[in-house]
Amino acid sequence: MSQYQPPIADIAFALEHVVGYPDLAKLPGFEHADLETVVELLEQCGEFMAEVVAPTNRRGDTEGSRLLPGGAVVTPSGFKEVYQQYVDAGWGSVPLPEEYGGGGFPRTVGLVIQELMTSANMAFSLCPLLTQGAIEALLHYGDDALKQRYLPKMISGEWTGTMNLTEPAAGSDVGALTTRAVPRADGSYAITGQKIFITYGDHDMADQIVHLVLARTPGAPEGTRGISCFIVPKFLINDDGSLGERNTVQTVSLEHKMGIHASPTCVLSYEDATGYLIGEENLGMRIMFVMMNSARLGVGVQGLAVAERAYQQSLAYAQERRQGRAIGASGTSSAIIEFPDVRRMLLTQRAHLAAMRYLMLLDASYVDKSTHDPDPAVRARAAEIVGLLTPICKSFGTDLGNELTSLALQIQGGMGFIEETGAAQHVRDIRIAAIYEGTNGIQAADLVGRKLGIRGGASVLEFIATMRELETELSQAGPEFGSIAAELGRQFDALEEATHWMLRTGATDPNAALSGSTPFLRMWGLCTGAWMLARAALAAAATNDAALAQSQLVLARFYAEQLLPASAGLLGAATAGSHDLFGLDAHQLAGVASPRIRI
C-alpha cells in the first residue's frame, strides 16, 4: 500500500479560489480563521494524519476489533495510542464552539480535517464522525445542565459519542422502533431495548461513551411522531464529574463485515439503563435529523477521501508497472501510464475527485453561512442550498467512491485483486458508505420528495439559474472554454427539463417521481460537478500559475466532454414513471413466465 500524501495544495486552491473561503473568514466569529492560518493548520493536520493515522489502516483491516468474553471491545493494536495522540493534538475540537473548549473554526475547515483523516484510515475516522453528530444534537437541543456535563469532554475527544437508531425490525423505518423509555421519579428514564449496527458502540479508546438513543415513552403516538431521544452514558457520572458505576448497556456481539474491520459495529442491549431526555418527549426525529444531516455530508466526504487514497495508489502503480510498449515508445516496455485506457481511468478519477471536493466544500461553506451570516435572508437561502446539496453530496459522493476505487483496482490489474496490496481494502471499506446514514435511494427520495418542493419549486430553479450564469462567462473566456460552455448548456437544459417534470409529476403521482429519483439525483451530481470544475478552471486562468491553469482547464474540459454527457442520457430514466418498474410481479422477476410443464 502506497504512502498517503495529503492533497493540501489542491485543498488550498479550492478554499481560496473556488468556494470563496476568504469571505467566510470575514463572518462574525470566524475572524481568527483567516485563509493563511487555516492552510498552515491543515498542513500540520495532513502531516499528522499521514504519519500517525495512516500507518494503522492496513493493520486495522487485518486485525479488526474483538469482543472479549466479558463483553468489552478491544480495537486493533495501536488504535488506542493513536486516538490519544489525536485527542492531545485537538484535531476533533477545531470546528466546534469555543464556549465548550472548541477551536471555533468554520465547518468548512472541519470537513477538510474529516477528509484527511478518512483518507488516512476510514475505520478510525468513524469514531470522531459519530461523536460530532452527537455533539451537534446536544448543541441544538440539550439543556444547559446536559451541555455542561457532556460537551466539554466530548468536544475534547476524551469522551466519544454514538447514534443509536437502528433496531432488528426497524432499519430505515425508524418509526417502527420498540425500545422503551419509562420515566423515573428522579427525572431520569429506564431504557430497555436492543440496537444494532452501532458504530463504535463500545471500544477501548476512551473512558466514556455517550450513547444518543431513540426510544418510545409510555403512551407516545405511533410511528415517528412518538420517538424521543435520550443520553445513555456507558458509565454514570457522579456529582463531581467523575465516572461512577457502569450503566446497564451491554455489547451482545460485533458484526462481521465486508470492510471497515477496525470499526466495531455493535449490537447493544439496554436493560433498565439510566437515560436522560434531550429536549422534550416526542422530539426524537428532529434531533435525529440534526445528527443525520451532520453525518450525511461527512459520509459523502468518505467517498471522496477513500477514492483519493485509492487514486494515489493506482497512479503510483501506473508509473511503476512496465508492460508492453506504447505506440511510438522506444525500448522494450513502457509504463502502463502511457497507454490510453489507463490514462482514461486515471483522468476519470482525477476529474471526479476534484469535482467532488469542490462540491463538498461548497456545501460546507453554505452550512457556515446558514449559521453565521448576519443577514437573516442570506442565512435562510444558505440553509435551502444546504438542503439541496447535502443529499447530492452524500449519494453522488459515495456512488463515486465505489466507482473510483473500483477503477483504481482495475488499473492495478491482478495485483489490485491481491489483498496484500491494499487496493481491495479501499473497495471493501467504502462500500458501506452508500448504505448507512440513509441509503442513497433514501437520499434521492429526500431530494424529490422534500427539497424540490421548497417554495413551490422556486428554490431549486433559482439554483439552476445561478449555475447557468456561468455559461456567459465561459463563452467569453476564450475558445479553449468553448466546448465546456456548449456542453454545460445542453446538460443544464436536460436538468431543467427533468426538474420541471419532477415538480409537475410529484404533486399528482409521487410514485412516478420516486421511480426516477435516483437517475435524477445522478443528473444533479454530474451537472453540479461540471459546474464546479468550470468555476475552478476560470479561477485558475485568472492566476499567474500557468501549470495550474492548464491542469484545471483539462480537468474541466475532460469532464464536460466525456463524463457530463451521461447526465442527459439519464433524462429518459428520470422521467419514465413507475409503470415498467411495477410491470412484473415477483414471480415474473424470478424469470418464470408461466408454471412449469411436467412431462
Catalytic residue among 437, 462, 497, 561: 437
What distance in Å separates the CA atoms of residue 413 and residue 409, rounded to the nearest whole number? 7
Q: Please state the separation of Cα 171 from the chain's center in Å.
A: 19
Tell me, what amino acid is at 124?
Answer: F
**Spatial CB neighbours of 565, under 8 Å, sequence gap ≥ 6:** 487, 491
Alpha-helical (H) ranges within 516-591 are 517-541, 546-558, 566-569, 571-574, 586-589
Let me know: does 318 contact 7? Beta carbons within 8 Å: no
User: What are the residues whose beta carbons fall under 8 Å from the beta carbon of 353, sequence distance 6 or more?
Assistant: 304, 307, 308, 311, 404
- Nearest alpha carbon to residue 456 among 522, 402, 502, 398: 502
Quickly count: other Cβ atoms within 10 Å of residue 248's Cβ. Answer: 16
Q: What share of the chain is helix, strand, coil (3-state, %, to 5)?
A: 60, 10, 25
Contact predicate 126/81, CB 8 Å: no
CA distance 566 to 555: 16
Q: How many residues does the chain have?
A: 599
Can you say whether the dihedral through the CA atoms of 21, 26, 28, 34 is positive or negative? Answer: positive
Q: CA 86 to CA 92: how far, in whole Å?
A: 8
Per DSSP bridges, beta strands 66-67 and 73-74 are antiparallel
* Helix, coil or strand: residue 322: strand
Helix axes 107-120, 35-48, angle to 10 degrees: 20
CB atoms within 10 A of CB 221: 11
The half-sphere exposure of 469 on its side-chain side, counting CA atoms within 13 A, is 7
End-to-end Cα spacing for the chain: 59
Using DSSP's 3-state secondary structure scheme, residue 244 falls into strand
Cell representation of residue 428:
471493501
H helices within 277-416, ranges in order?
Answer: 284-320, 340-372, 376-411, 413-416
- Contacts of 292 by beta carbon, 8 Å cutoff, 6+ apart: 133, 163, 437, 438
Rounded-to-integer distance, Cα 78 and Cα 56, Å: 7
Contact 78, 56 (CB under 8 A): yes
Q: Count CB neighbours of 218 within 10 A.
A: 9
280 given a catalytic annotation: no
Catalytic site residues?
Answer: 437
